[in-house]
Each structure stands twice: as C-alpha cells, then as structure tokens.
Amino acid sequence: MSFMDRKNILEEGLIDKLIGLLKKSKSKANDKESKKAYADAMMHFNKANAILKKNHKKLGIKSRFI
C-alpha cells in the first residue's frame, strides 16, 4: 500500500476528475443534440450577418464582414 498524504490525495483526485471530464466531453461532441444546437446557432448567425450587411449597404458603409 502506498503512502497517501494530503498532497497525493488531491493530485490523484484532480487527475481522475480531469480524465473523467475529457471522456465525457468526447462522448458529448458527437451527440445529435449538440450538432443540432450548433447548426441552429450557425443559422441565426448567418441571418444576423445578412441583416448587418444589408444595413451597411443601405447606409453606405463599407462592410468588413464576410
């Protein structure tokens, strides 16, 4: 049995938690819900960008946005 002092316990617990979070984030990255949410956010971004371009053109401002 290894010697466990406060520092070792904290370090090992922290590493275990980080590994767990990384594993969870990898599995969540491929979720259908997250892909749908990303697509929805991009749709709203594109709509807002189009409105901004239209307003810039209307006001005669040279747009820096794509």
Q: How many CB atoms lie within 10 A of CB 63?
A: 13
Count CB neighbours of 49 within 10 A.
Answer: 13
Residues 43 and 63 in one domain: yes
My answer on whether 51 and 21 are in the same domain is no
Asked if 21 and 41 sit in the same domain, the reply is no
- Taking the complete model, does pTM exceed 0.75, yes or no? no
Per-residue pLDDT tens over the stretch 11-66? 667 667 777 777 766 555 567 777 888 889 999 999 998 998 898 889 888 877 65
Are 35 and 66 members of one domain? yes
Looking at the structure of the chain, the number of domains it has is 2
Q: Residue 24 sits in which domain range?
A: 1-30
My answer on whether 38 and 14 are in the same domain is no
Residues 37, 25 share a domain: no
Q: Tell whether 53 and 43 lie within a shared domain.
A: yes
